[in-house]
Amino acid sequence: MAHPTSAAPLVATLTAADVEVVIDASTGQLVIAHWGAPLGHLDHDALQALTDSGVPHSDLDESAVPGLMRESARGLTCTPALRGHRGRTGFSPLFTVDSLVQNGSRCLAVLVDEALQLTLSWTFTLTPEGVLLVDASVRNDGTDDYTLDALDVWMPVPERADETLDFTGRWLKERQPQRLPFAPGLRVREGREGRSGHDHTIVQCALTSRTGTESGEAWALGLLWSGGCRHLAERDTAGRGALAAGELIEPGEQVLAAGQVYRTPTVAAFYSAEGLDGISARSHAWLRSRPTHPSSPRPVTLNVWEAVYFDHDLDRLLALAERAASVGVERFVLDDGWFGSRRDDWSGLGDWWVSPDAWPTGLAPLVSRVKELGMQFGLWFEGEMVNPDSDLYRAHPDWILQVPGRTPPLARHQLVLDLANPDAYAHVLEQVHAVVSAEGVDYIKWDHNRFLTDPAHLGVAAVRRQTEAIYSLFDELRRRNPGLEIESCASGGGRIDLGMAMHADRFWTSDQNDALERQQIQRWTTLVIPPEMLGTHIGPTDSHGTGRRHSIQMRAVTALFGHAGIEWNLLEATDDELEALRRWTALYRDRRDLLHRGRGVRVEHPDPSALVHGVVAQDRSEALFAYVQCTTTPANRPAAFRLPGLDPDSRYEIRLEDLGGAATVQRREPAWIERSVTATGAALASVGLHPPILWPEEAILVSLTRVDA
């Protein structure tokens, strides 16, 4: 093990997939000397010289470099990585590097503060996809308690990163982009819901002013965590920028006794020299490389919530299952209302047994018929919640998260079960497992319809324990039921994060099924989450979220680019709509390998009234692109849209896919629609295609197939 006083400089260099990270401990503190594109054969002394900015007036005699710890004791006035105390003392740490060891793509650094009696360990792992995973832990080496308030992972970004990008939102309108100047000072995005929330940013990015979706540099941090979270961006008075991510620790939640260790959630750091689409490519490749990533073809899924709500009539559901199978559905999901006294959202949560009132003959008649039709069967749960009007709550009112002596406010007539309570945890696990195993459930839609208030276990803040418990519960359900898949839903998109991505197979992207609203939601959720993990459904003709009416073509094109499904009472669909659905499911099944393994493309289009996006096969042999006319185009001939990402030297057959027909306003269609045309990838990326003149809120789908090698 090397030591800072050894002759060789303590420097580790991690390189993979056109990303390089240089970790420098040669001065006794831990510094990320470089995070970005590879630097070539640059020695340590030269890098130090290039990054030295001199000493300005009105500063320390020797300017301090913000290492990972960013300590005030070194003369830094930026936000420190670690904050805590031992009562009224121990508030100002000063860590020195004890060791730095590199083993291939991984580097371990150990830092100590002998005066404060703390040891910090940092692990940096650069994956083959170029994603840097950072883990940190702090150990209390003293004899008295140490109260930890924060331990964040900070990564520097260069001065040319002069803008930030993060995401905000609400129920029915998640992942809305916010691009702002990277101004001096601190920008903080905190999630205090006890879940990641509809306002969760998933990642926070630093960009140059020239960075777009297709080109330019981008840096991003994302937290592998579903509880309280922090994303920060800071530019100090010296003009230096940095991003950070970490767990939001509630007051008193992390009091470390002697010898006790706190471990941060993993932070994923992404760098791209190919715009935001490069961030997506890295994140998707990394997530797809996991052994637990869904590997079987993602089945066309029908969920019955917006079809029947709480009206669980067997004959109606059997007819819906027949209709679903006839159009190509492969998974049928029964939503809320099958258990306990649950006839509305006022009662029954926590009583996970099949209701004889709603299902006098049990679920077997529906399940058996669904499986006879060749479909999987899915079932809805909301196991972390309880209604006061339930057998469970009447028996165990103490099983909720609460500050002793008071009951939290209700949300959707429900409270939150304390899963840190082993009895409450066992109740949920055993009842859910009993239903899943007895009924032959292939798939769980697991909801989380309220945020946490007074999230205490025995009077102590317990957001971390609650988060770890749901991870454990999901993992145990899947262990007991091999092949079981779990969808994370939280009133739609309220718990979509990189932490839950490690324990769930699918996310319900949003309760918003309006195809126009879904365009932005899906566009930005896929920034880091691969589309095969995102439920994208064709909603009803009249949207239940906005009241808008969209054509089957618009809804089908929108829902194609994800884990496709249907959220619609098909018993009300017309013959023409059913035939369009058959074509759509056939296209999805035929092209889902492309849709779920290809590279996503968000095209930079000159007309703000339209969005263009697509997916290109990794070998560039085929592609699908959507042109979406969101509002009325300002010109009487819409601007041509480019189709980038193809092999420039190959020729491609161009085909317009008919999924019900898009409404147009024109005397003649563009020539590429009227006759067979082939073109090079270079021409399609530069000249592009002129779309037909579409009605607003309409879309077309273009299929490209390489016709020469």
For the annotated catalytic residues, the residue numbers are 447, 511
Give strand ranges (E) for 513-609.
534-538, 563-566, 599-603
Q: Locate 649 and state its tokens.
A: 């030297």
* Angstrom distance (rounded) from CA 421 to CA 448: 18
Give me the residue label for tokens 């079809």: 307
* Angstrom distance (rounded) from CA 544 to CA 308: 12
**Which of 8, 136, 34 is closest to 81 using CA atoms?**
136
* Angstrom distance (rounded) from CA 455 to CA 562: 34
- Apex 666 CA angle, 664 and 667, nearest 5: 135
* Angstrom distance (rounded) from CA 91 to CA 98: 21
Contact 626, 700 (CB under 8 A): yes
Q: Locate 505 and state its tokens.
A: 């197979």
Within 8 A by CB and 6+ apart from 708, the residues are 650, 651
Side-chain-side CA neighbours of 264 within 13 Å: the count stands at 32
- Apex 462 CA angle, 347 and 387, nearest 5: 5
Give me the residue label for tokens 């620790």: 249
Instruction: Report the DSSP pairing between strands 96-103 and 229-235.
Output: unpaired
**Which of 579, 514, 520, 584 is closest to 548 using CA atoms?**
514
The phi and psi torsions of 522 (rounded to 5 degrees) equal -70, -35
Q: Locate 153 and state its tokens.
A: 């992972």
Q: Note the Cα 527 to chain centre separation in Å.
A: 8
